[in-house]
Amino acid sequence: NNYTFRGLGNKGVLPWKCNSLDMKYFCAVTTYVNESKYEKLKYKRCKYLNKETVDNVNDMPNSKKLQNVVVMGRTSWESIPKKFKPLSNRINVILSRTLKKEDFDEDVYIINKVEDLIVLLGKLNYYKC
């Protein structure tokens, strides 16, 4: 028996079934971005730090809309049906000691320790609520 017992689960699977209502809620929460609120907070922060601000979300570097970051472990990633990978309208980050970036065609980030997540978040432009 090679199951880890460091979190939620029962013999490597969730102890309950996910239903469509749970999935819809997860999608709604992890894709929600209030860009106008974010811009106001960003303006206040930049003013406090005496930095120039970005006037419009469309003027951001790479013209990318803000997205939330979803961090998951390898087994959570593997539990997502192929047709939903990577999770759309979200920045997908997988925490794994065994997966390698070159194994993926998808636009995902692979990190092997939590400390790497802190570094990655410092480089990404993502929604901060």
Partners of 76 in the β-ladder: none
16 half-sphere exposure, CB direction, 13 A CA radius: 4
**Residue 68: φ, ψ to 5°:** -80, 155
pLDDT digits (tens, 9 = 90+) for 26-81: 899 899 888 777 677 777 777 777 766 555 444 444 446 889 999 999 988 998 98
pLDDT over 90 (residue 20): no
Lookup: tokens for 99:
């997966």
pLDDT digits (tens, 9 = 90+) for 105-128: 778 999 999 999 999 999 998 887
> Cα dihedral sign for 111, 112, 118, 119?
negative
CATH of 20-123, one of 3.40.50.300, 3.40.430.10, 3.30.300.30, 3.40.50.11310: 3.40.430.10
Question: Residue 36 has what pLDDT?
Answer: 74
- Pairwise pLDDT comparison (60 vs 82), residue with the higher score: 82
Spatial distance between the Cα atoms of 103 and 93, rounded to a whole number of angstroms: 14
pLDDT of amino acid 64: 63
For the cut 60, the answer to whether the pLDDT of residue 2 exceeds it is no
CA-to-CA distance for 127 and 91, rounded, in angstroms?
Answer: 10
pTM more than 0.85:
no
